[in-house]
Amino acid sequence: MSRLDEAVRHLERAVARLESAASRSADGAVAHHGVVAAAKADYSALLETTEMVASRLDAAILRLDRALEG
């Protein structure tokens, strides 16, 4: 799961850099907006996947704990 967390942090930093660049640049603002919107969409999809994986891992761990308890 650490690789997934690392990917989320990397994407968050990339989105922040894109937003910063877009706010500083008057030229090409529309293009930057499209890139930022796409990055945000990617981030949203990655966040949803992360939450699903975390939920499944929690359920699997709970099942294993119950099995080990007898």
Angle CA(30)–CA(6)–CA(36) in degrees, nearest 5?
5
pTM of the entire structure?
A: 0.52
pLDDT of the residue at 2? 82
What domain count does the chain have?
1
Arithmetic mean of pLDDT over the chain: 83
- Compute the half-sphere exposure of residue 27: CA atoms within 13 Å on the CB side of its CA: 0
Domain range for residue 47?
2-69
Higher pLDDT, 22 or 17: 17
State the residue for tokens 């603002």: 29
What whole-number percentage of the chain has pLDDT above 90?
34
